Chains A and B, each alone.
Chain A
Amino acid sequence: MTDTVSPTTPPIVRMQKLNKHFGSLHVLDDIDLEIVPGEVVVIIGASGSGKSTLIRCINGLEEFQSGTLAVDGNTLKPDGKSSKALQTIRTEVGMVFQQFNLFPHLSVIDNITLAPMKVRGWNREDAVATAKRLLDRVGIADQANKYPSQLSGGQQQRVALARALAMEPRLMLFDEPTSALDPEMIGEVLDAMRELAKEGMTMVIVTHEMGFAREVADRVIFIHKGVIAEQGTPEQIFSTPQNEQTRSFLARVLKH
């Protein structure tokens, strides 16, 4: 394959003038954003800036009130009025959550095989084989028959990653994937994500791990009060930020 990421590649995510309100709060304010296949985009910003809400719009966990949003050619309408496109999008977009959200009543292997079997219609053998391959890839092949509560936080988050990957997504969303982890477990999750990025997965990551962002991101987006205040390469954002808000945010998070 000679395909490379170029400006002519059609974007997998296209947001235009996206607006979202929680009551009187304007959470997302005229967001324009395009993400091309293979790109790793890291979104940073203070808590309450709207960064989580932004990625939750991409797979319809949050509704928006105006603007357009297309994911891989499937257009989502405002106010959640597009269930069929939404269903298609969700089968193609994986998500990893801050709180892991594993299914506590299912074993690790059943957590991973549930969606491929019920949504994609795979038979059990194929689903299990894929699940085992993915568990091996995230380094916890020996935990397949355990229940989530028997695993450490870092292991749980890697299972959650394997679970999302089992649907063979074209795009992965990460909503603060290491924020609920003990410090010694952050590394193992970031390693798994780093591997994924190397393999060319398109990723949108909300995180406070600035070192990781700098290393892995193709593009860093800084969100302030629901607006994309600044974006650019990690070098531009972290070394020569132009926006006053970016500078003060980075000063605060990089101080310790």
Chain B
Amino acid sequence: MDFDFQFDWSAAIASIPYLLPGIPWTLLISFGGLAFGFFIGIFFGLLRISPIRWLRWVAVVYIEIFRGTPILVQVLFIFYGLPQLLGSPINALVAGIAAIAVNSGAYISEIVRGGVQSIERGQREASLSLGLSRVQAFRYVIWPQAFRRMIPPLGNQGIISIKDTSLFSVIGVGELVRQGQIYIATTFTALEVYFMVALMYLAITWTLSILLRQLERRGIAGQ
């Protein structure tokens, strides 16, 4: 047996051309899913603070279900389970995007709720006292302030969702981890390849962190 576990840089570098095609898939699934998740989050986040009780309940049920079950189970359910119900297969990419959307949507609902509820009551009172309708008060006064406060937690959620897409190798969508697995199957260089996969995730999430920090800085500068 050969116990020579030296890290082989040439093997790591050789894997790059095989891994790179996974990046667009990872980005497509995460940002596609997050885009839908954002609107799902706004929708259920606002239902969650609706004055009408049964609407709040609908939001609570949604949030509890998708926050309380593993995203791996969610994507398996969508990819393998739903087709049995619908009678037609679901594209792996669509399943991946849908899983990120419904999962991040649940967390973003809570971010939206927290953001809106963090705005001082006086802001709403001042708006109403000026004759703005409740919708106008929300649109022009509450939401712009709430959204600024939501940027840091939204950034967190974005990073979490990007990493979550790594689980979707199980449904065979050709994202980063899947590309790595395919490559390792022929080269057996797991150490080097997973190291490179990790680096690529880091490159994506780090870039996002930097962008968000700039956005935050500009947001605060505008106050």
Contact = CB atoms under 8 A, between A and B. Distances in A.
Contacts of A115: 130-132
A43 interface: no
B132 A119 contact: yes
B223 A101 contact: no
Contacts of A61: 125, 128-129
B132 A105 contact: no
- Size category of the A interface is 20 to 34
Contacts of B145: 103-105
A105 B218 CA distance: 12
B17 interface: no
A90 B132 CA distance: 8
Interface in A122-151: 147, 149
A95 B223 CA distance: 23
Interface in B56-94: none
Contact of A94 (B129, B133, B222, B223): B129
Main secondary structure of the interface of B (DSSP, over half): helix
Contacts of A164: 129-130
Interface in B123-139: 123, 125-133, 136
A101 B222 contact: no
B140 interface: yes
A90 B222 CA distance: 29
Given A90-B131, A101-B125, A103-B123, A118 B223 contact: no
Nearest to B219: A105
Contacts of B148: 105
Interface residues of B, number: 20
A242 interface: no
Interface in A144-185: 147, 149, 160, 163-164, 167, 173
Nearest to B222: A105
Nearest to A149: B223
Contacts of B144: 105
Contacts of B140: 114, 118
Contact of B125 (A97, A102, A167): A97
Nearest to A93: B129
A181 B132 CA distance: 27
Interface string B130-162: 111100100011001100100000000000000
B130 A119 contact: yes
Contact of B129 (A59, A102, A120, A147): A59
Contacts of A102: 126
A53 interface: no
Nearest to B144: A105
B121 to A, nearest CB: 9
Interface string A201-243: 0000000000000000000000000000000000000000000
Interface in A73-129: 87, 90-91, 93-95, 97, 99, 101-105, 114-115, 118-120
Interface string B110-125: 0000000000101101
A97 B128 contact: no
A103 B131 contact: no
Contacts of B122: 97, 99, 101
B134 to A, nearest CB: 9
Given A104-B223, A105-B144, A105-B222, A114 B128 contact: no
Contact of B126 (A101, A105, A120): A101
Contacts of A118: 132, 136, 140
Contacts of A95: 126, 129
Contacts of A87: 131, 133
Nearest to A88: B131
A15 B125 CA distance: 22
11 contacts: A87-B131, A87-B133, A97-B122, A101-B125, A104-B145, A105-B144, A105-B145, A114-B132, A118-B132, A118-B140, A164-B129
- Interchain residue pairs A-B with the least CB separation, the first 9: A91-B131, A101-B126, A115-B130, A101-B122, A95-B129, A119-B131, A90-B131, A105-B144, A104-B223
Given A60-B128, A164-B130, 13 more contacts: A61-B128, A90-B131, A91-B131, A94-B130, A99-B120, A101-B120, A103-B123, A103-B127, A103-B141, A115-B130, A118-B132, A147-B223, A163-B130
